[in-house]
Amino acid sequence: MKAIEIKHPLIEHKIGIMRDKKTGTKEFRELASEVAMFLCYEALRDAKTYDVQIETPLAKTTVQRVNEDDYAFVPILRAGMGMSDGITRIIPNAKIGVIGLYRNEETLEPIRYYYKVPKDIVNREVILLDPMLATGGSACDAIKMLKEDGVKKIKFLCLIAAPEGIKKLEETYPDVQIYCAKIDDHLNDIGYIVPGLGDAGDRIFGIK
């Protein structure tokens, strides 16, 4: 599957503000949540609906609903948590899992330190969340864990993706669809996306 880059003027506008190093923590966090909502709309375009009989103030009618129990959203700690608020605004009853990974600054390899997902995760479509798809190591490691748990359908949502990360993820897990707000130019020699956003986790949590 080819990575899907969501083209929309409002996304361009919001990502542009996030890129600015002068943008403060509060605004950066809010924008990350808002862009995640746009990505979720696109990722759930194929969501199945079921009929429900209701009454409007004027008449009885049939409406469509999405079964929220079909999905689980799994942010990769810590930066992925910055996307989960926007997701739960759209699907407020969605189950949330958590995968804790951090990057070894010398080898750039992901190291797992926490893994907690819903007990019935195998019966759900999993939407994996991480603002940055850089080397692809963390994403692939998280997907490996989910597949070992029996998850059959996984989608990956990120704000910014590097071509190198897309290539690694597509080659390793071609069945996982990637949705991103922007595909950037390249990784620098220390594994950061250029032009990128900087360290999204630090900016979301106000560490720097």
Q: Over the stretch 108-129, which tens digit does the pLDDT of each residue have?
A: 677 788 999 999 999 999 999 9
HSE-CB at 32 with a 13 A cutoff on CA atoms is 30
- Which residue of the set 19, 78, 103, 112 is catalytic? 103
Phi-psi category of residue 191: left, alpha or beta, with phi > 0 → left and psi -120 to 50 → alpha: left
- Written as six digits, the tokens of 69 are 């129990």
Q: How large is the average pLDDT for residues 130-148?
A: 93
Instruction: Report which residue type is found at 158.
Output: C
Beta bridge partners of 194: 186
Q: Output the pLDDT for position 94.
A: 85
Answer whether residue 42 shows pLDDT above 90.
yes
Parallel/antiparallel/unpaired status of strands 49-55 and 186-187:
unpaired
199 is catalytic: yes
- Which residue of the set 70, 85, 141, 199 is catalytic? 199
Answer whether residue 29 shows pLDDT above 70.
yes
Beta bridge partners of 77: 100
- Which residue of the set 20, 65, 107, 149 is catalytic? 107
Q: Output the pLDDT for position 38.
A: 95
70 is catalytic: no
Answer whether residue 105 shows pLDDT above 90.
no
Q: Output the pLDDT for position 208.
A: 63
85 is catalytic: no
Q: How large is the average pLDDT for residues 5-25?
A: 96
Phi-psi category of residue 108: left, alpha or beta, with phi > 0 → left and psi -120 to 50 → alpha: left
49 is catalytic: no
* % of the chain with per-residue pLDDT over 70: 98
CB 160 within 8 A of CB 196: yes
Parallel/antiparallel/unpaired status of strands 177-183 and 154-161:
parallel
Answer whether residue 54 shows pLDDT above 90.
yes
Q: What is the pTM assigned to this prediction?
A: 0.91
List the domains of the chain with CATH numbers: 4-205 (3.40.50.2020)
